Amino acid sequence: SKLRVGLLFGGRSGEHEVSIVSAGAIAKALTTGENSQKYEVCPFYIQKNGVWQGEEIARKVLESGSAEENTPNTVNLWQFPQKSPQIDLWFPILHGPNGEDGTIQGLLTLMQVPFVGSGVLGSAMGMDKIAMKTAFAQAGLPQVQYQTVTRAQIWSNPCVFPKLCDQIETTLGYPCFVKPANLGSSVGIAKVRSRQELETALDNAATYDRRIIVEAGVVAREVECAVLGNDHPQASVVGEISFNSDFYDYETKYTQGKADLLIPAPLSQTVVEQIQEMSLKAFAAVDAAGLARVDFFYVESTGEILINEINTLPGFTSTSMYPQLWANTGISFPQLVDQLIQLAIERQPTSD
């Protein structure tokens, strides 16, 4: 009989819409060709307000590709697993907080059903830029200079704040990047060039998160590598993102035609191999599993390769970097989702 795959998408996140498109592409890949003999897709849609919707509404959202809102709350989240039909395996394709960060992975772990991608630790480490950078540093991976800041330092004591800004100016200088620690799609990120911009950006980032990171800005090419596997993961060819905007912000990421993906990236074989090796190290450093996309800055003038971040549930639409990198490495989109499911089954402990 077919394996029943619970496809979890949407989510309480700024990346809700992307998730719907990613899920649509995955559902299609699971229901066509050879995969259709092996898998049955049971979609579960998490509304922006956190309410879970099963079959009927979830299918409608998948087909239309756009968010459904204000549907009444019929079933509470914690009752859902019991009330839902038997799911053999979960495929969470949620981007950002409340989905890519270990929260959903915790629920699925408690349910004792295998699921695609990283577990609680890997997901949480990959989402929190501060924890991630600590793990990368420990693994000897080169990164930009950075400093961590808390919301309390920004909001609580008016005497602390100017000193903090002074210190950031001296150690990191301008331009620097202010980021909420736990987000994605460049939401809440600002590139700042002056004291006033720094103050505004810190205050704004504090509305998103208790933890904030400030990084020295680098002038570099942006390259990405896909990783697939569990204990013996593989790295894909390397891709590059090209765009004309100031940085790879939300608008550039999601406006058609604002950014181009170059696959494979025009890089020397030596640089490619270094990036692949660093990607595998990063994958292990945060305890990722199944899949991840690792993002880098390549400073061409000095030859430096700096790791920027890891994304444990990267964009998965038909035109997204992650599946495109694998397609160029020889694994088609349907083969990729099939492998991810097999990896999830392989990772499930046989006894406990």
Query: Does 311 sit near Mg ion (CB under 5 A)?
Result: yes
Query: Does 248 sit near ligand ATP (CB under 6 A)?
Result: yes
The site partner of 177 among Mg ion, ligand ATP, none (C-beta below 5 to 8 Å per kind) is ligand ATP
CB of 57 to Mg ion, least distance (A): 26
Closest to ligand ATP by CB, 57 or 321? 321
Could you give the CA distance from residue 186 to residue 249 in angstroms, rounded to a whole number?
Answer: 5
- How is residue 268 annotated by DSSP? -
Query: Does 338 sit near Mg ion (CB under 5 A)?
Result: no
Q: Which of the stretches 4-12, 214-222, 279-287, 341-349 binds ligand ATP when contact is defined by CB under 6 A? A: 214-222
Position among 43, 119, 122, 184 found at the interface with ligand ATP (CB under 6 A): 184
Distance of CA 244 to the CA centre of its chain: 23
CB of 138 to ligand ATP, least distance (A): 19
Helix (H, G, I), strand (E, B), or coil: what is residue 325?
A: helix
Residues between 303 and 332 with contacts to ligand ATP, criterion CB under 6 A: 308-309, 311
Please report the DSSP string for 188-221 in residue order. T-EEE-SHHHHHHHHHHHHHH-SEEEEEE----E
CB-based contacts of 279-282 (< 8 A; 24+ apart in sequence): 279/225, 279/226, 279/227, 279/235, 280/227, 280/233, 280/235, 281/139, 281/140, 281/141, 282/136, 282/139, 282/141, 282/307, 282/310
Dihedral pair phi/psi, residue 326, rounded to 5°: -70, -35
Position among 53, 186, 312, 317 found at the interface with ligand ATP (CB under 6 A): 186
Shortest Cβ contact with ligand ATP: which residue? 248
Q: Which of the stretches 3-11, 29-37, 179-187, 193-201 binds ligand ATP when contact is defined by CB under 6 A? A: 179-187
Residues between 151 and 190 with contacts to Mg ion, criterion CB under 5 A: 184
Give residues in contact with Mg ion (CB under 5 A): 184, 295, 309, 311
